[in-house]
A and B are shown apart, each in its own frame.
Chain A
Amino acid sequence: MDVSQKLAILAAGARYDASCASSGSSRSSGSGACTPSGICHSWTGDGRCVSLLKVLYSNQCRLDCTYCPNRAGADIPRTSFTPEELVRITKEFYRRNYVEGLFLSSGIFADPDIVLGRLVEVARRLRRDEGFGGYIHLKAIPGAGDRALREAGRWADRLSANLELPTSDSLSALAPQKDGAEILGVMRFLAGEIREAGSLRRNRPVFAPAGQSTQIIVGASPEPDRTVLRLASGLYGKLGLRRVYYSAFVPVNRDPRLPSGTPPLLRELRLYQADWLLRFYGYSVDEIAGESEPDLDPSLDPKTSWALRHPEAFPVDLARADREAILRVPGIGITGAARILETRKAGGLSLDVLPRLGIVWKRARHFATVRGAHAGIREEPERLRALLASPPPGRPESAGTRAPADPRLQREFQF
């Protein structure tokens, strides 16, 4: 098999990993540098950003996770790169400005220490032999020892161990060879190392300066959004994760344990919107997906949904409110809030100016006033709700597939 065929197979095998960021690191060397904000180098026909050369080292795997295209039982061509091939392709793609660097994952073709050792070897050769200063994201293979993980963090900008499913019950049902506690153990270890390396003590060796991330598949198992968001919130708060990625379940394998149908892309989008609210807007999981309504409303973005459920919090007077209250207005994001505050400070804020500040005024006008003046229809909640229902960008609305709800209580991960 030539390297082009390998590349096609091992890139296709990695495309279900949603992580694409090249942000969070400011490493530089004689041959390359990371851009802290990350850079997209292209967008594939599915609208997703191409920032890194995202591939598997090998698609051979001993495990048989039901949802995975590379599972041991899948009838697919198997192949592996050599470290030389990966180093050469990464360097050449980087040199031509096709990518910011390398994202390297792998099937579990041998003992976890050996698998991680191969990934580390590629990273080490790039850094040490080639002076590569671009971005490297390595998969932290669960089951690998502390030494191998430390070595990975030494060469990589970011590490990730994927939880894949939001509860230990679902993991046992759909990926019985995986151990949730072991994956969380790796994440906890990485969190400790990242914290140590980030402390101000001098002479600390570098360890994954762009932190760690993880991925949760949604739609393969029956948990509601609240469970997924509680998990994400815990990972951000307790383990300091930089990102939690949500990946709509794509039924690539036939298995009676899995739902069939279209991927729940709309649910995935709503989870990303909710995640954003958790991280940057000061919302709590209880506010976004409470016990009584544990699923996000597919027809509304979660911020609008919260606003419609809390009429007592509106209208917000943009001429007086603090930033936190302004950020709660649907249609006003972080940049919009900053512009409102700047314009207010300069004395120029009025109802006429607001549509020109780059905010989604047709949405915000129903929830905001300027010294009592307003232009919305807040008094007609049903009409307003219909007006604000939003399809996801670029495609017609579709709720996608969903595993049937399981009345049993799902055991959430403890950490």
Chain B
Amino acid sequence: MNGIERLDGALIKVRDILGRPEPGPREDPCPTPARSRRSLGGRDRTPGQLELGLAEDAPVRSVGSASERTVPAPTGDKEGPVSPRDPRHVRDPRALPVERCLRALGGDVWETFEYALRTELPVDRDAADFAVRALLCGPEAASDRSLPEVRAVRAAAFKVRREVHRLLGLLRFAPDPDGILTARCEPDSEILDLLEPAFRRRYGSEPFRIVDLRRGVVLETGRGSTGRGSTGRAGLPDPKKEVPGPADPEPVPGSEPDPVDLWRAYYRAAEDPVRRNPRLRLQFMPRRYWKHLPELDA
């Protein structure tokens, strides 16, 4: 199951929970008086769906910014907009109205839900409960950390935000043999598209490529569009066959100094030996990131 199928699966689960003909013996979603309860609808109606706008068949292209930044969907037998995470994947139209409702709650509800499902943690059921809770009780419920599903989903989303922030600093770009600036990484979560905007600002119109070796996925930009593909495609290195790493040409004697060597020289000189504290460095920069850092793999 790819990340988009997983996201859509969780959204459809939300739809199914809210679409049960009766609340039945389910636990009251808003048990404490301070939590505002939204109408669940009458017993003979589909509870929640009319009030929350889930019952209507939403037009498939109305998912806010979701399809704005993507390349056209590949032709296939599925209908619907392509995913902002990976345009090779087509969204399930049943998931889209739920997404729209979660986005409409404002705050960080949608982002937290969506980020949590980018991790490899088993939080799918928690994410569905989190979304149901937020839709029925209001966005404050999505911040109520007394609820186990809120804690689980928020902890997972935090992992994603922290990894994005770390990799904005720790990605190392170098020209690949085809001349395109390329960075390789093995992130714990599916985050390539979250990294892209910052590097677009850094590189302007210059194309770049970020390779997720763990998932065998490449994000590639050029002339305003973004494409995604597997690493085995179009001459890109297959992580299972090739040793990853930047491919700088061998330095010619007497030529410009190699930037990697300069960086290593700088990194060594910037350390104050009397303050040596490698444990503190490990806290900030866990060893799993070192493989792709030229200053540390030497």
CB of A347 within 8 A of CB of B35, answer yes
Chain A interface size band reads 35 or more
User: Which residues in B have their C-beta under 8 angstroms from that of A281?
Assistant: none
Closest B-chain residue to A49, C-beta based? B284
Among B92-100, B168-176, B186-194, the stretch in contact with A: B168-176
CA distance A250 to B143 in the complex (A): 46
CB of A47 within 8 A of CB of B277, answer yes
CA distance A55 to B279 in the complex (A): 25
Instruction: Say whether, besides A4-B257, A8-B269, A96-B173, A43 and B281 are in contact (CB < 8 Å).
Output: yes
Choose one: B202, B269, B275; the contact of A7 (CB below 8 Å): B269
Instruction: Say whether, besides A44-B271, A89-B262, A96-B174, A395 and B34 are in contact (CB < 8 Å).
Output: no
User: Which residues in A have their C-beta under 8 angstroms from that of B284?
Assistant: 40, 43, 47, 49
Q: Is residue B71 contacting chain A, with contact meaning CB distance below 8 A?
A: no
Minimum Cβ distance to chain A for residue B119 (Å): 17
Instruction: Say whether, besides A43-B285, A53-B266, A95-B181, A48 and B169 are in contact (CB < 8 Å).
Output: no
Tell me the interface secondary structure of chain B in the complex. Answer: helix
User: Which residues in A have their C-beta under 8 angstroms from that of B214?
Assistant: none
B window 139-183: CB within 8 A of A: 140-141, 143-147, 151, 165, 168-174, 181, 183
CB of B170 within 8 A of CB of A42, answer yes
User: Which residues in B have their C-beta under 8 angstroms from that of A48?
Assistant: 270-272, 275
Choose one: B33, B143, B172, B274; the contact of A97 (CB below 8 Å): B172
Chain B interface size band reads 35 or more
Minimum Cβ distance to chain A for residue B195 (Å): 10
Choose one: A15, A28, A357; the contact of B271 (CB below 8 Å): A15
Instruction: Say whether, besides A31-B204, A93-B259, A262-B274, A348 and B285 are in contact (CB < 8 Å).
Output: no
User: Which residues in A have their C-beta under 8 angstroms from that of B145?
Assistant: 339, 342-343, 348, 353, 356-357
User: Which residues in A have their C-beta under 8 angstroms from that of B202?
Assistant: 32-33, 94, 97, 134
User: Which residues in A have their C-beta under 8 angstroms from that of B274?
Assistant: 250, 262-263
CB of B277 within 8 A of CB of A394, answer yes
Choose one: A41, A89, A96, A348; the contact of B147 (CB below 8 Å): A348
Interface centre among A9, A40, A134 (most CB of B within 10 A): A40
Minimum Cβ distance to chain B for residue A214 (Å): 20
CA distance A32 to B165 in the complex (A): 17
B window 188-234: CB within 8 A of A: 198-199, 201-205
User: Which residues in A have their C-beta under 8 angstroms from that of B279?
Assistant: 47, 394-395
CA distance A262 to B272 in the complex (A): 13
Minimum Cβ distance to chain A for residue B259 (Å): 4
Q: Is residue B268 contacting chain A, with contact meaning CB distance below 8 A?
A: yes
Choose one: B173, B205, B265; the contact of A8 (CB below 8 Å): B265
Minimum Cβ distance to chain A for residue B33 (Å): 7
CB of B277 within 8 A of CB of A395, answer yes
Per-residue CB contact flags for chain B residues 260-298 toward chain A (1 = under 8 Å, else 0) read: 011101111111111111111101110000000101100
Minimum Cβ distance to chain B for residue A263 (Å): 6
Q: Is residue A202 contacting chain B, with contact meaning CB distance below 8 A?
A: no
CB of A47 within 8 A of CB of B170, answer no
CB of B259 within 8 A of CB of A16, answer no
CB of B265 within 8 A of CB of A7, answer yes
CB of A16 within 8 A of CB of B272, answer yes
Q: Is residue A3 contacting chain B, with contact meaning CB distance below 8 A?
A: yes
CB of A46 within 8 A of CB of B276, answer yes
Choose one: A15, A33, A39, A346; the contact of B169 (CB below 8 Å): A39
Minimum Cβ distance to chain B for residue A253 (Å): 14
A window 1-49: CB within 8 A of B: 2-4, 7-9, 11-12, 15-16, 28-33, 35, 39-49
Instruction: Say whether, besides A31-B204, A342-B143, A42 and B277 are in contact (CB < 8 Å).
Output: no
Q: Is residue B65 contacting chain A, with contact meaning CB distance below 8 A?
A: no
Minimum Cβ distance to chain B for residue A150 (Å): 28
User: Which residues in B have their C-beta under 8 angstroms from that of A94?
Assistant: 202
Instruction: Say whether, besides A98-B263, A346-B143, A46 and B174 are in contact (CB < 8 Å).
Output: no
Q: Is residue B2 contacting chain A, with contact meaning CB distance below 8 A?
A: no
User: Which residues in B have their C-beta under 8 angstroms from that of A393?
Assistant: 280, 283
Minimum Cβ distance to chain A for residue B186 (Å): 16
User: Which residues in B have their C-beta under 8 angstroms from that of A357?
Assistant: 145
Q: Is residue B32 contacting chain A, with contact meaning CB distance below 8 A?
A: yes
Name 30 A/B residue pairs within 8 A (Cβ), A-sorted.
A4-B261, A4-B265, A9-B269, A11-B266, A11-B270, A12-B270, A15-B271, A28-B201, A30-B204, A30-B205, A31-B204, A39-B169, A43-B284, A44-B272, A44-B281, A45-B271, A45-B281, A46-B273, A50-B270, A51-B169, A93-B262, A93-B263, A262-B274, A265-B275, A339-B143, A342-B145, A346-B141, A346-B144, A348-B146, A395-B279
Interface residues of chain A, those whose CB is within 8 Å of chain B, are 2-4, 7-9, 11-12, 15-16, 28-33, 35, 39-51, 53-55, 89, 92-98, 133-134, 250, 262-263, 265, 339, 342-343, 345-350, 353, 356-357, 393-395
